[in-house]
Amino acid sequence: MADHGALHRRIDDESPPDAARHLRRGDTTFPSWCLKNTGARLLAQAERFLIDAPYIASNRFTLADIAAYTSAFAMRQDLDWSALPLLRAWYARISARPGVVRGLAAF
């Protein structure tokens, strides 16, 4: 089983400390780029959690899936889906959920 705590520690470790400093100076380009790249890397790492289970945190849909889906949806154009077959299948499963379909239709 994958160590889910490791992913949380990794997220904390990879939060870009320079982003806040650049935002204070009015530079929104660097923080946006840095956060997008960090998010894409962390989503790619989530692939390993899908080896043993159909969902991010367990065998059932949880808040972890909602949080990860929100990030994946926001970055869907930037992810290399061909290199992430488990994440791609997970994304398709979550996208097909009736609640997700209804929620996205509101936008």
pTM for the structure as a whole: 0.68
Range of the domain at 68: 4-105
Name residues whose C-beta falls within 8 Å of residue 95's C-beta, 6 or more positions apart in sequence. Answer: 69, 101
Convert 14-79 into a string of H (helix), E (strand) and C (coil): HCCCHHHHHHHCCCCHHHHHHHHHHHHHHHHHHHHHHCCCCCCCCCCCCHHHHHHHHHHHHCCCCC
Confidence check: pLDDT of 14 > 50: no
- Please count the structural domains in the chain: 1
Give the best-scoring range by mean pLDDT among 1-10, 36-45, 67-76. 67-76
**Are the CB atoms for 47 and 84 separated by under 8 Å?**
yes
pLDDT tens-digit profile of 53-88? 999 998 999 999 999 999 899 888 888 899 999 999
- Identify the residue whose tokens are 């890397």: 41
CATH number where 39 lies: 1.20.1050.10
